């Protein structure tokens, strides 16, 4: 896992940039620049942060390559030697790494509010507004001109929702609908969460909305809140959404449930990386200072963190004790 | 030799950018098209430069698309515009407002 992490940090930035280049070119360049400069707060895209999040995501091959509903075909068996099997597993791990690239986490976009012209002469001539889209093929979608001529004669730039709709009409993308499905409304999300299909909802959300649209952010936050309320962290564990969820929880300091879950599943490394990430994001908290002074590692780090920062101290202490007992019995026997 | 070329070999037409009507009964749909002026309205054209849906959609908008890149090319080649095309481009803000729109408004 450590070896994978080391290799991953070299490969991730270019892949991230290539993958996120199209929709988030401008925003990403700005964030990357700020991260490299002396900005105190680390961004989601920093390499150190990404490595930590990637390690925590885990790599359960059985879950990543879970059978997707496709056409029925009889299973295909191959006869391989040991060496070939290792080779095949290695290739599978490479593919799984591409599937686990995290979708971007951006701030909400500013609403567009720009009037280009006002022609009071046209008032009363038209009944409906005209939406003009520039259909030139070689312009990125973010820079397209989409203007609206209102019935009162005002020529203004289109709002983000109108822009997304028009771009989907003229340049349709697979998996996206022109009018967002009613699934993404708050009342319907509850039903989906009861069926434990958080991952499907997040995949649909990524296909439908742009990463900086308020709907995308709202659906993601709702999903993360629900998971945190019911402690269903394992649903997202080996998927590409795990990093985003951890980032959300750590920025809002709601890491206790996740910590308990990790200790219960004996994932001590993940717990330590979670706490390291917490310290990177909130360097002014007490446990961060103590950890830096004492250069603590592993269990000691967790204990210091639990004493100073967590709300559910009792639960975490219990979980730690159970873990230590289990370690003692296994090493004894 | 098809009928079209017989039309065109005589005196010489010019390129116009105009609307070609399509769609069904009680459901018009215009394609903004660069064509030779002697062609039929809905006949063979040089290039499609966009479209216009004259009926408002569920959000109360009349959707229009304009390929500005190619439009600039054809205008540079010396294409002329039909009056409704001029009015539409005036509404879009590409050209200044057509005087007929103003007179019609008043």
| All domains in chain B, ordered by first residue | 3-105 (3.30.1320.10)
Residue numbers in A near B66 (CB within 8 A) = 132-135
What's the rounded mean pLDDT across residues A306-310? 77
Inter-chain contacts counted by CB atoms under 8 A, chains A and B: 75
Number of H helices, E strands in chain A: 14, 4
| ipTM of this predicted structure | 0.89
What's the rounded mean pLDDT across residues A285-306? 76
CA A293 to chain centre: 32
Look up residue A117 and give its DSSP letter: E
Residue numbers in A near B104 (CB within 8 A) = 125
Say which of A131, A136, A162 has its CB closest to residue B64.
A131
- For the cut 90, the answer to whether the pLDDT of residue A9 exceeds it is no
Residue numbers in B near A155 (CB within 8 A) = 93
> Model confidence at B35, in pLDDT bands (50, 70, 90)?
very high
Look up residue A142 and give its DSSP letter: G
Q: Per-residue DSSP letters for B64-104?
A: EEE-HHHHHHHHHHT-EE-HHHHHHHHHHTSSPPPHHHHHH
A259: which 2 tokens? 């910590």
Say which of B58, B61, B65 has its CB closest to residue A129.
B61
Q: What angle do CA A305, A309, A311 make, to 5 degrees?
A: 120
Distance from CA of A154 to the nearest CA of B (A): 10
Say which of A131, A155, A170 has its CB closest to residue B61.
A131
Residue numbers in B near A130 (CB within 8 A) = 61-62, 64, 91-92
Most confident range, picked from A113-122, A165-174, A236-245, A269-278: A165-174
Q: Do A155 and B56 touch (CB under 8 A)?
A: no
- For the cut 60, the answer to whether the pLDDT of residue A46 exceeds it is yes
Q: Do B92 and A147 touch (CB under 8 A)?
A: yes
Q: Do B67 and A148 touch (CB under 8 A)?
A: no
Q: Hey, is A243 helix, strand or coil?
A: helix
Q: A75-117 pLDDT, tens per residue?
A: 788 888 888 889 988 988 888 888 788 888 888 888 888 888 8
Dihedral over Cα of A59, A48, A240, A169: its sign: negative
CA A48 to chain centre: 16
Q: Which pLDDT score, from 0 to 100, does residue A306 have?
A: 80
Any A CB within 8 A of B102 CB: yes
Look up residue A104 and give its DSSP letter: P
Express the helix, strand and coil content of chain A in percent, nearest 5 each: 60, 5, 35
Q: Which pLDDT score, from 0 to 100, does residue B4 have?
A: 55
Q: Do A134 and B102 touch (CB under 8 A)?
A: no
Average pLDDT of every residue of chain A:
78
Q: Indicate the angle between helix axes A256-264 and A298-308, nearest 10 degrees.
A: 150
Q: Which pLDDT score, from 0 to 100, does residue A23 have?
A: 41
Residue numbers in B near A140 (CB within 8 A) = none
* Whether A46 contacts A4, CB under 8 Å: no
Q: Do B69 and A138 touch (CB under 8 A)?
A: yes
Task: Let me know how long chain B is.
Answer: 106
Report the chain A residue with the minimal C-alpha distance to residue B57: A128
- For the cut 80, the answer to whether the pLDDT of residue A25 exceeds it is no
Distance CA B37, CA A326 (A): 87
A135, A145, A165: best mutation site toward chain B, by most B Cβ within 10 Å? A135
Strands of the A115-118 sheet, one edge to the other: A115-118, A154-157, A146-149, A129-134, B61-66, B47-52, B27-36, B15-24, B80-81
Long-range contact list for A157-161, CB < 8 A, 24+ apart? A157/A112, A157/A113, A157/A114, A157/A115, A157/A116, A158/A112, A158/A131, A159/A111, A159/A112, A160/A109, A160/A111, A160/A112, A160/A213
Say which of A123, A136, A169 has its CB closest to residue B63.
A169
What's the rounded mean pLDDT across residues B2-27? 80
Q: Which pLDDT score, from 0 to 100, does residue A253 have?
A: 83
Dihedral over Cα of A56, A57, A61, A62: its sign: positive
- Pick the more confident residue, B104 or A258: A258
* Whether B33 contacts B19, CB under 8 Å: yes
Q: Do A136 and B67 touch (CB under 8 A)?
A: yes
Place of tokens 């936050």: A221
Q: Do A132 and B66 touch (CB under 8 A)?
A: yes
- Pick the more confident residue, B41 or B3: B41
């Amino acid at each position: 896992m450590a070896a994978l992490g080391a290799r991953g940090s070299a490969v991730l930035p270019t892949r991230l940039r290539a993958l996120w280049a199209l929709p988030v070119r401008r925003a990403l360049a700005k964030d990357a620049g700020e991260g490299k400069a002396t900005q105190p707060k680390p961004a989601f895209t920093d390499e150190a942060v990404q490595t930590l999040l990637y390690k925590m995501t885990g790599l359960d091959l059985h879950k990543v390559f879970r059978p997707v509903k496709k056409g029925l075909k009889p299973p295909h068996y191959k006869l391989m030697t040991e060496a070939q099997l290792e080779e095949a597993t290695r290739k599978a791990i490479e593919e799984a790494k591409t599937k686990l690239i995290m979708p971007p986490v951006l701030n909400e976009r500013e609403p567009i509010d720009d009037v280009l012209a006002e022609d009071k002469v046209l008032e009363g001539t038209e009944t409906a507004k005209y939406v003009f889209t520039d259909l030139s093929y070689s312009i990125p979608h973010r820079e397209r001109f989409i203007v609206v001529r209102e019935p009162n004669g005002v020529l203004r730039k289109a709002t983000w929702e109108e822009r997304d709709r028009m771009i989907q009409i003229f340049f349709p993308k697979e998996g996206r609908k022109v009018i967002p499905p009613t699934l993404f409304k708050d009342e319907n999300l509850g039903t989906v969460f009861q069926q434990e299909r958080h991952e499907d909802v997040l995949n649909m959300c990524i296909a439908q909305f742009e990463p900086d649209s308020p709907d995308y952010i709202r659906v993601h936050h709702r999903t993360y809140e629900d998971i945190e309320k019911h402690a269903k962290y394992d649903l997202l564990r080996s998927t590409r959404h795990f990093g985003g969820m951890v980032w959300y929880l750590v920025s809002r300091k709601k890491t206790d449930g996740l910590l308990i879950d990790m200790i219960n599943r004996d994932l001590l490394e993940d717990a330590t990386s979670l706490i390291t990430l917490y310290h990177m994001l909130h360097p002014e908290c007490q446990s961060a200072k103590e950890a830096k002074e004492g250069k603590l590692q592993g269990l000691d780090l967790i204990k210091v963190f639990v004493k100073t920062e967590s709300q559910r101290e009792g639960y975490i202490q219990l979980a730690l004790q159970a873990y230590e007992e289990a370690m003692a019995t296994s090493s004894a026997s | 030799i098809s009928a079209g070329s017989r039309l065109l070999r005589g005196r010489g037409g010019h390129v116009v950018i105009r609307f070609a009507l399509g769609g069904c009964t009680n459901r018009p749909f215009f394609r903004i098209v660069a064509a030779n002026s002697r062609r039929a309205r809905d006949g063979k054209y040089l290039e499609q430069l966009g479209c216009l849906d004259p009926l408002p959609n569920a959000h109360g908008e009349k959707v229009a698309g304009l390929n500005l890149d190619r439009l600039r090319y054809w205008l540079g080649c010396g294409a002329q515009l039909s009056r409704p095309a001029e009015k539409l481009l005036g509404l879009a803000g590409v050209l200044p407002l057509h005087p007929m729109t103003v007179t019609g408004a008043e």
